[in-house]
Amino acid sequence: MYTLKPPLKVNCFQCQKKLTVNFCPPSQKYSNKNNWGYWTDKKQNQGKYRCDTCLIDLYRHHKLAYLDSITDSKKRRTFRAYFGGSKTAKTALLTKTQQKQIKVRSLSELLRKKGIDLDDEDKIGDQLENWLQTLLKAVAENALKDKKIQELKKQLAQKQKKLS
């Protein structure tokens, strides 16, 4: 008979995102999918977990680190099946929430590079207000240009009527 243990609640050691590690009753072990110690076979990594997003990022964007870390060829094949996949499966591996997290993380990095402090809510609000005003101004300018284009088209059509 199988015993059932509650899922482990852990944080990704790379991005600190919370993740749940499920218990597998047939093997009587917790899942190794996110267990970095399992993939690397290194004692210093035992008990460290990485979320799917970080593992996919490692495989796609840090191939040398992936190859250096996971040396067992069978584990590499399994890892690639879980986190590499075909081009169409790559996006399927990421949930919509994970895809959004990657976009948010990329946007956060871009904003920090531009000198925007994401920890100061007042500054973020001010920056968003500035962007909104700039966007509204651009929309208004485009509307005026569109109106002028429509007027010019009407004038052109009238001139062509007079000439015919």
**Domain boundaries along the sequence of the chain:** 1-115, 119-164
Q: Provide the pLDDT for residue 115.
A: 77
Q: 64-82 pLDDT, tens per residue?
A: 988 999 999 999 999 988 8
Taking residues 44-67, report their average pLDDT. Answer: 90
Percent of the chain residues past pLDDT 90, beyond the cut: 38
Taking residues 128-135, report their average pLDDT. Answer: 86
Cα dihedral angle (15, 18, 24, 25), rounded to 10 degrees? Answer: 150
Sign of CA dihedral 53, 59, 64, 65: positive
As a whole number of angstroms, the distance between CA 24 and CA 108 comes to 36
Q: Provide the pLDDT for residue 94.
A: 61
Tokens representing residue 9 in the block? 């609640």
User: Band of the pLDDT at 84, cuts 50, 70, 90?
Assistant: confident
- Is 51's pLDDT higher than 80? yes
Tokens representing residue 105 in the block? 């993380």
Q: Provide the pLDDT for residue 85.
A: 63
E strand or H helix at 56, and its extent? helix 52-61
Q: 10-50 pLDDT, tens per residue?
A: 999 988 999 999 998 888 899 999 999 999 999 999 999 99
The model carries a pTM of 0.51
Which has the higher per-residue pLDDT, 29 or 125? Answer: 29
Q: Provide the pLDDT for residue 93.
A: 56
Q: Provide the pLDDT for residue 88.
A: 45
Q: Provide the pLDDT for residue 153.
A: 93
User: Band of the pLDDT at 114, cuts 50, 70, 90?
Assistant: confident
Taking residues 130-155, report their average pLDDT. Answer: 91
> Mean pLDDT for the chain?
84
Question: How far is C-alpha 37 from the chain's CA centre?
Answer: 24
Cα–Cα separations (whole angstroms), residue 75 to 59, 68, 93: 13, 13, 18
